[in-house]
């Protein structure tokens, strides 16, 4: 088997399409080298080795060693240096690279190959002793922490002490001799911590570093990240071994990271940071403040790369253009300049916020770089969620505390916490928290995920906090240098004000502002690039998108987001209003039909009013109204005291009310007296609701001159006969209303398919149905025999351990539930070819489930108002 692939120096065995085997980094290094970009030579050990290594108890395939030796010899020949040569040593970097980038999760070792002998070779070869000893100490530090497991703070402490002793502030001010002393202190530290001297053999160093990268695939941080991002464990990581180039060899050297467009807003500007005379991690570590790339974007006091290294900058601008034209997407680049010459160390599709994703895709399509269909496929529908949440109300009063960098847009308010664990703990209790850290590291991921927003006081736009927050869609303000954080006292302070843990702040990740307390927010709009993209989505999609809504507010939101009708109005939600719950309870308590009719009469005007406002808002769009579904006891309170109060209000004695509550209570209410079973046993309820719908429709017809076409939906049907009976109830109510008003309107009667039996008998049920709407919440519950209300106790375990692929209440289970949906759709249409089909379970807003709905031939999906744009885009992607 071929385990090792060469890249650079005219021997590129990989290409961008081989990321599964070579990981993203390795595949793109080979691709960049093959399109003529300056890539230092190296080789990639494949992801298959990782899988083999971890499953064989950390054993390599037998022929790996020989392949690595051969590849290393090629690199030596290409650069004219020899690994381990005391006079002119080849140094290499060893980096991980999985299929998808996992920021901060996996580890990097630079300057590998240095030891007490070769460091002297580096001194004479480079003519720069300071550089050589600095490189050696970096190597010991990285190797020591990544491979040998020595806490990296211990190394930092030694440097801090060295700087204090030397009376300097910047690392770069330490002399060769001082770095040499740091190296000695590091070696002593390693020996005390590990019980062994720092390894001197370059071959030994290389193999231990490779092993550490492969082993780190199984570390907790990596496992957590994979869980959060749905990355299978068997993908593995590749290892890239590459000849070193040095950004820390003097003032004509630098290292930097950049995005070909602004990853926060998507604006078409070159966006990045660099540091002169620095290496790798310095830029993201936030120890020195990185400088901007372009002179135009530099602020007073900053020295841009354009000014400091004009030749290399001009070269980098060309690379930016080449990469975007080649990859046809925004790239995230790492580069190093050694003695004024530019080298590319990495490129990948850049992580971006949802609004940046929209803008980049729209602008690339408008400039002809990609097609509209490609643009539509570029944006993750689920990420739109970020844009659909409140923003700061520009008119709201606020008290500015400080300012940082606008690292990830969106506004968030919450109470201040200073540790990731506390963020997670408080969020689990339902509290909104803002995680405040000096800087974040991969150990904080769980807390960042749990927080509403993140504030850091150190680090730039490419710091760990910024990159991870953007990926997660969390608002983030980074590098707020004016804020002092005191973990010990649990306070943050700026400009003479301080905020304690547990007190609220608000951050605006779009402007970088930090405010004291809560600031009022406003609803977002679908406009600009978002609006353009939605327009393109609407042009290509064939699935209609409706919304589940019952209040006027929900209906208005849904319409604003582009809903093409209401797919589910759950009428029971209208019963809880304080004005009417009394009548509802009176209806429930009534001992006979006459009593119930009296109570139901009181509800009629309320219901009619509800439907009038829905029809008015939806202005001619279809509105599906579902008749009462839940078991009646849901409308009764549970405590004796509340029951006694109701007895008082209704004028019945407590014993009666207690007895009735007892009669109504059910051991298994979700399978009990609910849905059409209620409508059949208490027909006056459905009659009243149907009458209210028809009277409302006629009122709107009179008001506007255009009659709405109500779609009346019967829940929980399991036999054809149930639908026949309830349909007749509705038809009779229609006839009665039409007779009174002397006019008729069009309407439809349909049913939910939410019980397995309904799906099995769909051909027969279709005879009395004008439409089906799949209630995949109940259908999932009944197909799995899994309680919607109680499954939370074990479902996460099931998903974690892979017994269920996904939470079946979130993503439709194609294998089981989907089979029934498909069967019911086919059977229904066999009886009635044009039968309208929709879905109104939660799955209607889930992109993967929407793709299924497209395949199953449904006409529309219906989802909660805030997911309507998500569904519009997902439906477009399903159609492409
Ligand atoms: C369903 O069961 O999928 C449905 C939409 O109805 P409800 O969630 O109200 O039971
Ligand atoms: Mg249901």
Residues 821-868: pLDDT tens digits?
999 999 999 999 999 999 999 899 999 999 999 999 999 999 988 889
pLDDT of 104 above 70:
no
Domain range for 552 is 541-631+666-754+853-879
pLDDT, mean of residues 480-494: 93
Return phi, psi of residue 499, to 5°: -125, 130
Domain stops at, among 492, 522, 552 = 522
Q: Which residues surround ligand 2, an ion (CB under 5 A)?
A: 754, 775, 778
Residue 100 is predicted with a pLDDT of 84
Answer whether residue 148 is part of any domain: yes
Same-domain status, 502 and 625: no
Pocket test for ligand 1, best of 754, 758, 789 (most atoms within 8 A of CB): 754
Residue 527 is predicted with a pLDDT of 85
Residues 184 and 177: their CA atoms lie apart, in Å, by: 11
pLDDT of 616 above 60:
yes
Residues 54 and 50: their CA atoms lie apart, in Å, by: 6
Same-domain status, 337 and 441: no
522 has which bridge partners? Answer: 391
> What CATH number does residue 424 fall under?
3.50.30.10
**Which residue out of 476, 676, 840, 853 is catalytically annotated?**
840
pLDDT of 228 above 80:
no
pLDDT band at 285 (very low <50, low <70, confident <90, very high): low
CA of 569 to the centre of ligand 2 (A): 12
What would the pLDDT profile of 286-298 be if each residue is shown by its tens digit?
567 789 999 888 8
What does each C-alpha distance from 530 to 19, 474, 533 come to in angstroms? 31, 19, 5
Strand, coil or helix: what is 238?
Answer: strand
Answer whether residue 193 is part of any domain: yes
Pocket test for ligand 1, best of 677, 756, 772, 775 (most atoms within 8 A of CB): 775
Same-domain status, 305 and 215: no
Residue 639 is predicted with a pLDDT of 80
Same-domain status, 560 and 458: no
Answer whether residue 648 is part of any domain: no
The answer to whether 464 is a known catalytic residue is: yes
Same-domain status, 61 and 151: yes
Same-domain status, 435 and 301: no
Residue 455 is predicted with a pLDDT of 96
pLDDT band at 114 (very low <50, low <70, confident <90, very high): very high
pLDDT of 72 above 80:
yes
pLDDT of 34 above 60:
yes
What would the pLDDT profile of 197-213 be if each residue is shown by its tens digit?
999 999 999 999 999 88
Same-domain status, 273 and 294: yes
Same-domain status, 742 and 861: yes
The answer to whether 673 is a known catalytic residue is: no
What would the pLDDT profile of 678-726 be if each residue is shown by its tens digit?
999 999 999 999 999 999 999 999 999 999 999 999 999 999 999 999 9
pLDDT band at 106 (very low <50, low <70, confident <90, very high): low
Domain stops at, among 314, 331, 349 = 349
Answer whether residue 535 is part of any domain: no
Among residues 524, 525, 534, 539, which one has the least CA distance to residue 362?
534
Q: How many domains in the chain?
A: 4
Answer whether residue 834 is part of any domain: no
Same-domain status, 203 and 228: yes
CA of 755 to the centre of ligand 2 (A): 9
Pocket test for ligand 1, best of 567, 677, 756, 777 (most atoms within 8 A of CB): 777
Residue 101 is predicted with a pLDDT of 75
Domain stops at, among 243, 267, 288 = 243
CA of 685 to the centre of ligand 1 (A): 19
> What CATH number does residue 262 fall under?
3.30.470.20
Q: What is the residue with the minimal CA distance to atom 10 of ligand 1?
A: 778
Q: Beta strand pairing status for 341-349 and 391-392? A: unpaired
Residue 398 is predicted with a pLDDT of 93
Residue 137 is predicted with a pLDDT of 95
Answer whether residue 760 is part of any domain: no
Mean predicted lDDT score pLDDT of the chain: 92
pLDDT of 596 above 80:
yes
Same-domain status, 259 and 217: no
Same-domain status, 451 and 599: no
Does ipTM top 0.85? yes
User: In Å, how far from its chain's centre is CA 395?
Assistant: 30
Residue 103 is predicted with a pLDDT of 57
Residue 699 is predicted with a pLDDT of 97
Percent of the chain scoring above 70 in pLDDT: 99
pLDDT of 795 above 90:
no
**Which residue out of 464, 529, 633, 843 is catalytically annotated?**
464
As a whole number of Å, the end-to-end CA separation of the chain is 38
Same-domain status, 518 and 491: yes
Answer whether residue 860 is part of any domain: yes
Residue indicated by tokens 């190093």:
336
Most confident of 434-448, 454-468, 625-639, 665-679: 665-679
> What CATH number does residue 702 fall under?
3.20.20.60
Count Cα atoms within 13 angstroms, Cβ side, for 838.
31
Strand, coil or helix: what is 214?
Answer: helix
Which residues are within 8 A (CB) of 158 and not within 5 positions of it... i.e. 6 or more apart?
Answer: 182, 185, 186, 189
Answer whether residue 382 is part of any domain: no
pLDDT of 23 above 70:
yes
Residues forming the annotated binding site for Mg(2+)?
754, 778
For the CA of 568, the closest atom of ligand 1 is: 5
The answer to whether residues 7 and 74 touch, using CB atoms and an 8 Å cutoff, is no
3-state SS, 107-142, equals: CEEEEECCCCCHHHHHHHHHCCHHHHHHHHHHHHHH
């Amino acid at each position: 088997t071929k385990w090792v692939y060469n890249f650079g120096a005219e021997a590129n065995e990989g290409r961008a399409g081989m990321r599964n085997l070579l990981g993203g980094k390795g595949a793109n290094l080979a691709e960049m080298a093959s399109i003529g970009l300056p890539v230092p030579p190296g080789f990639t050990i494949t992801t298959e080795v990782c899988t083999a290594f971890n499953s064989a108890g950390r054993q390599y395939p037998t022929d790996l060693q020989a392949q690595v030796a051969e590849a290393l010899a090629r690199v030596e020949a290409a650069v004219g240096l020899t690994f381990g040569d005391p006079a002119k040593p080849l140094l290499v970097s060893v980096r991980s690279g999985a299929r998808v980038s996992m920021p901060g999760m996996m580890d990097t070792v630079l300057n590998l190959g240095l030891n007490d002998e070769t460091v002297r070779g580096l001194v004479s070869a480079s003519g720069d002793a300071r550089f050589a000893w600095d490189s050696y100490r970096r190597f010991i530090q990285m190797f020591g922490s990544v491979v040998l497991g020595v806490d990296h703070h211990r190394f930092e402490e030694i440097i801090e002490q060295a700087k204090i002793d030397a009376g300097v502030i910047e690392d770069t001010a330490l002399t060769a001799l001082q770095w040499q002393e740091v190296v000695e202190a590091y070696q002593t530290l390693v020996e005390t911590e590990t019980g062994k001297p720092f390894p001197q053999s370059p071959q030994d160093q290389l193999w231990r570093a490779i092993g550490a990268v492969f082993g780190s695939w199984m570390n907790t941080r990596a496992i957590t990240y994979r869980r959060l991002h749905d990355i299978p464990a068997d993908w593995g990581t590749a290892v890239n071994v590459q000849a070193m180039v040095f950004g820390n060899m003097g003032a004509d050297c630098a290292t930097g990271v950049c995005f070909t467009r602004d990853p926060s807003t998507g604006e078409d500007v070159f966006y990045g940071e660099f540091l002169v005379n620095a290496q790798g991690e310095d830029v993201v570590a936030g120890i020195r403040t990185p400088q901007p790339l372009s002179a135009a974007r530099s602020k007073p006091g900053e020295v841009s790369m354009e000014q400091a290294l004009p030749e290399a900058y001009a070269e980098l601008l060309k690379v930016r253009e080449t990469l975007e034209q080649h990859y046809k997407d925004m790239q995230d680049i790492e580069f190093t300049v050694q003695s004024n010459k530019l080298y590319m160390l990495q490129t990948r599709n850049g992580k971006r916020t949802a609004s940046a994703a929209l803008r980049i895709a729209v602008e690339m399509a408008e400039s002809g770089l990609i097609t509209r269909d490609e643009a539509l496929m570029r944006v993750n529908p689920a990420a739109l969620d970020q844009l659909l949440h409140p923003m700061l109300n520009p008119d709201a009063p606020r008290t500015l505390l400080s300012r940082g960098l606008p690292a990830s847009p969106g506004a968030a308010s919450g109470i201040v916490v200073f540790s990731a664990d506390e963020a997670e703990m408080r969020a689990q209790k339902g509290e909104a928290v803002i995680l405040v850290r000096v800087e974040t590291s991969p150990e904080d991921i769980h807390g960042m995920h749990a927080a509403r927003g993140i504030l850091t006081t150190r680090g730039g736009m490419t710091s760990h906090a910024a990159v991870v927050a953007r990926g997660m869609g969390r608002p983030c303000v980074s590098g707020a240098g004016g804020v002092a954080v005191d973990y010990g006292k649990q306070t943050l302070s700026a400009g003479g004000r301080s905020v304690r843990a547990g007190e609220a702040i608000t951050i605006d990740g779009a402007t970088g502002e930090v405010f004291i307390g809560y600031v009022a927010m406003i609803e977002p709009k679908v406009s600009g690039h978002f609006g353009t993209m939605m327009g393109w989505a609407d042009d290509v999609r064939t699935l209609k998108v409706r919304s589940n809504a019952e209040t006027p507010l929900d209906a208005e939101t849904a319409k604003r987001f582009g809903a093409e009708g209401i797919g589910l109005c759950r009428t029971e939600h209208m019963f809880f209003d304080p004005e009417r719950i009394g009548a509802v309870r009176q209806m429930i308590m009534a001992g006979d039909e006459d009593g119930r009719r009296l109570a139901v009469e009181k509800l009629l005007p309320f219901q009619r009013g509800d439907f009038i406002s829905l029809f008015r808002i939806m202005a001619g769009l279809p509105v599906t109204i579902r008749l009462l579904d839940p078991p009646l006891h849901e409308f009764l309170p549970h405590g004796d005291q509340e029951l006694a109060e109701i007895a008082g209000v209704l004028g019945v004695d407590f014993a009666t009310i207690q007895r009735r509550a007892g009669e109504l209570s059910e051991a298994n209410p979700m399978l009990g007296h609910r849905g059409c079973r209620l409508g059949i046993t208490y027909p006056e309820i459905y009659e009243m609701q149907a009458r209210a719908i028809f009277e409302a429709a006629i009122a709107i017809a009179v008001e506007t001159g255009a009659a709405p076409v109500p779609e009346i939906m019967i829940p929980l049907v399991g036999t054809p006969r149930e639908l026949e009976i309830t349909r007749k109830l509705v038809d009779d109510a229609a006839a009665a209303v039409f007779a009174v008003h002397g006019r008729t309107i069009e309407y439809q009667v349909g049913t939910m398919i939410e019980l397995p039996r309904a799906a099995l008998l769909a051909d027969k049920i279709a005879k009395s149905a004008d439409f089906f709407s799949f209630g995949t919440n109940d259908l999932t519950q009944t197909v799995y025999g899994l309680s919607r209300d109680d499954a939370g106790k074990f479902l996460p375990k099931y998903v974690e351990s892979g017994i269920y692929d996904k939470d079946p209440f979130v993503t439709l289970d194609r294998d089981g539930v989907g089979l029934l949906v498909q069967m019911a759709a086919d059977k229904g249409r066999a009886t009635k070819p044009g039968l309208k089909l929709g879905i109104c379970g939660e799955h209607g807003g889930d992109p993967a489930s929407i793709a299924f709905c497209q395949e199953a031939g449904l006409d529309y999906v219906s989802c909660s108002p805030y997911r309507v744009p998500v569904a519009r885009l997902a439906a477009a992607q399903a159609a492409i």
